[in-house]
Amino acid sequence: MRTTITLAAGFVLASVLVGCGKSEAERKADEARKHADAAAKQIEAATRKMGAQVQGAAAEMSKSANQMADAAKKEGGQAAVSAMQAGAEAAAAAATATQAAAAAMSSAATTAAVKTALITTAGLDASGINVDTSPDGKTVILKGTVKTAAEKASAEKTTHAVIPTLTVKNELVVK
């Protein structure tokens, strides 16, 4: 009788312990959450950088506008033209900085979307895959290791499915 109770308690304990472990889907969801959080931090940093660049450009434009006004008051038309050219150059620099920051945000978002898709793909262990996106956001490079050739192909197919216009460089190594 005592042996039967001990065995039954052992089976109950084993069942509880098995139930406490995370399923594969839960582990993948946790990993996807971590990558999404990391991507959000990258986007936040890029947004801060873009804000700082825009503020700097705005200050330069304001300075140029003040110089134009002063020149027009003091020296007449030619000085005003020169100051306006300087203002146009400052505006062009601001536009370039804004475009660069927007591209960085886009690249971070693409990386996050691809990594999340890889993590949630059934039959693919994405824990050894690193995703890099080019600064222009048009090329994704898959690096790292996978266990099988099928996983390598699945990773590339999944990446293409995220954004079909992407160029995918599959540098994954099967180990």
Whole-angstrom Cα Rg for the chain: 28
Long-range CB pairs of 161-164 (<8 Å, 24+ gap) are: 161/117, 162/110, 162/113, 162/114, 162/117, 163/110, 163/113, 163/114
168: amino acid identity, one letter: V
Looking at residue 138, its pLDDT comes to: 87
User: How far apart, in Å, do the first and last CA atoms of the chain sit?
Assistant: 52
Give the global pTM. Answer: 0.54
Low pLDDT (below 50) residues in the chain: 1-19
CA-based nearest residue to 101, from 53, 166, 36? 53
CB 109 within 8 A of CB 136: no
In one-letter notation, the amino acid at residue 55 is Q
In the chain, domain spans: 26-174
CA atoms within 13 A on the CB side of 67: 17
Report the relative pairing of strands 139-146 and 167-170 from DSSP bridges.
parallel
Instruction: Find all residues with CB under 8 Å of 36, minimum gap 6, and list them.
Output: 112, 116
Neighbour tally for 9: CB within 10 Å: 10
Residue by residue, DSSP assigns 47-85 as HHHHHHHHHHHHHHHHHHHHHHHHHHHHT-HHHHHHHHH
CA distance 82 to 143: 51
